[in-house]
Structure 1
Amino acid sequence: MSGTLNKVMLIGHLGDEVKMHYFEGGGSIGRFPIATNETYTNKSTGERVTNTDWHNIVVRNKAAEICEKYLSKGDKVYVEGRLKNRQWQGEDGNTRYSTEVHVTDFTFLTTKKESGATDNSTASTTPKTSNTSKATDKASAPITQENDDDLPF
Structure 2
Amino acid sequence: MMNRVVLVGRLTKDPELRYTPNGVPVATFILAVNRSFTNQQGEREADFINVVVWRKPAENVANFLKKGSLAGVDGKVQTRNYEGQDGKRVYVTEILAESVQFLEPRSQNTGGNNQSNTNASGSNQNRTQSNYSRSDEDPFANDGKTIDISDDDLPF
Q: Deviations over 1:76-121 (max 9, x none)?
A: 0001001110101111111011111111112101223432421548
Contact 1:35 1:52 in 2 (8 A): yes
Structure 1, gaps ≥5 residues long: 128-135
- Runs of at least 4 residues off by over 4 Å: 119-122
Task: Tell me whether 1:53 sits opposite 2:47 in the alignment.
Answer: yes
User: TM-score normalized by structure 2?
Assistant: 0.73
From 7, 10, 13, give the equivalent of 2:4. Answer: 7
* 1:78-89 correspondence to structure 2 within 5 Å: 78-89=72-83
Give the conservation status (yes or no) of the 8 Å contact 2:34–2:44. Answer: yes
Tell me, which stretches of 5 or more residues in structure 2 are unaligned? 128-133, 142-156
Aligned partners of 1:122, 1:94: CA distance in 2, in Å? 46
Hey, what does 1:64 align to over in structure 2? Answer: 58
Alignment correspondent of 1:115: 109
Residue correspondences, number: 131
Cα deviation code 1:44-64 (max 9, x no counterpart): x6x422111011100101110
Report SS of the residue matched to 1:68. Answer: helix
- Distance across 2 between alignment mates of 1:15 and 1:82: 20
Aligned-partner residue type, residue 66 of structure 1: N
Return closer, same or farther for 1:48/1:66 CA change in 2, 3 Å cut-off.
same
TM-score (norm 1): 0.74
Aligned counterpart, 1:98 = 92
Cα root mean square deviation, aligned: 2.4
CA contact (8 A) 1:70 1:122 kept: no
Does the CA contact (< 8 Å) of 2:35 and 2:46 recur in 1? yes
